[in-house]
Amino acid sequence: MKACVIGLKGHIVEFDFPSNLKNWRKTPILELLKSKLVKKARHRKIISVLKYLAKKVNHVTIATDYDREGELIGLEALEILKSVNPKLTFDRAKFSAITKEDVLKAFKNRQKINYNLASAALARQKIDLIWGCVLTRLLSLIHNRVSKKDFLSAGRVQSPVLRIIIEREEEIKNFVPVKYWQIGLIIEKHGEKIKLVSNERFISEEIAKKCLEKIENTCKVIDAQEKIVEEKKPIPFNTTEFLKEASMFFPPEKAMQIAEYLYMKGFISYPRTDNTVYPNTLDLKKNVKMLLNTEFKKYALLVLNQEKIIPSKGKKQTTDHPPIHITAPASREELSKEEFIIYELIARRFLATLYKNALWKINHYKFTAGNLSFEIKGKQLIEKGWREIYYYSKPEQIILPEFQKGEEVKIVKKYIEEKQTTPPKRYTEGEIIKIMEKLGLGTKSTRHEILQKLKQRKYISSRPLKPKETAYIIFNSLKEIAEEITMPNMTAELEKKMDLIEQGKLSEKEVVEQSKRKLKEILLKYFEKQATHSKKDA
Q: Show which residues are catalytic.
A: 270
DSSP run (H or E) holding 365: strand 358-369
**What CA–CA distance (Å, rounded) separates 326 from 296?**
12
Q: Is the peptide bond before 279 cis (omega within 30 degrees of 0)?
A: no
Residue 157 contacts residue 441 (beta carbons within 8 Å): yes
Cα distances from 297 to residues 238, 266, 274, in angstroms, run 24, 20, 29
Residue 346 contacts residue 242 (beta carbons within 8 Å): yes
Across the beta sheet with 372-383, the strand order is: 192-197, 179-189, 408-420, 218-231, 358-369, 372-383
**What CA–CA distance (Å, rounded) separates 346 from 493?**
32
Candidates 87, 124, 128, 92; CA nearest to 111 is 92
Please name every residue paired with 418 in a beta bridge, in sequence order, or none if there are none. 181
* DSSP assigned state of 202: B
Alpha helices in 109-251, H assignment, sequence order: 115-142, 158-174, 205-213, 239-246
**Exposed e or buried b per residue across 263-286, where buried means at least 16 C-beta atoms within 10 angstroms of its C-beta:** bebbbbbbbbbbbbbbeeeeebee
**What CA–CA distance (Å, rounded) separates 292 from 269?**
19
β strands within 191-346, DSSP E: 192-197, 218-231
**What CA–CA distance (Å, rounded) separates 424 from 519?**
35
Q: Are strands 59-62 and 89-92 parallel, antiparallel or unpaired?
A: parallel
Judged by DSSP in three states, 98 sits in: coil
**What CA–CA distance (Å, rounded) separates 64 from 92?**
9
Backbone angles phi, psi at 87, to 5 degrees: -85, 0
Cα distances from 2 to residues 7, 46, 58, 80, in angstroms, run 17, 19, 11, 20
Candidates 113, 108, 109; CA nearest to 73 is 113
Residue 300 contacts residue 289 (beta carbons within 8 Å): yes
Judged by DSSP in three states, 23 sits in: coil
**What CA–CA distance (Å, rounded) separates 299 from 480?**
57
Residues 6+ apart with CB under 8 A from 487: 160, 163
